[in-house]
Amino acid sequence: MIAAALAVLTILVAQQPDVDPEIIALTVAEIRRLLNAFVLAVTLPPTHTPHWSIWRRTSQARARRTHYQRRQAK
């Protein structure tokens, strides 16, 4: 069942436009982490996981921008 959900979400991610440059789009790996966090493990409060996911993707977007800026400076 989780494999089917992951397959459907993978298709949805592939069709998702990148609308906000401040945060990267959901990736298959991120969706897998979210599924694991919400379905398989319930030790953290429910509000922690979405907050952590947004923080993580924002951090990745910041790192991506910095990487591109450094490559352009050379």
Q: How many residues make up the chain in this entry?
A: 74
List per-residue pLDDT tens for the chain, 74 residues long: 666 776 776 677 666 666 677 888 778 888 888 887 777 766 778 888 889 999 999 999 999 999 999 988 87
Which amino acid is located at 42 in the chain?
Answer: V
Distance CA(30)–CA(5), nearest Å, equals 13
Global pTM reads: 0.44
48: number of Cβ within 10 Å: 11
Nearest to 36 by CA among 25, 14, 58, 52: 52
> CB of 36 within 8 A of CB of 53?
no
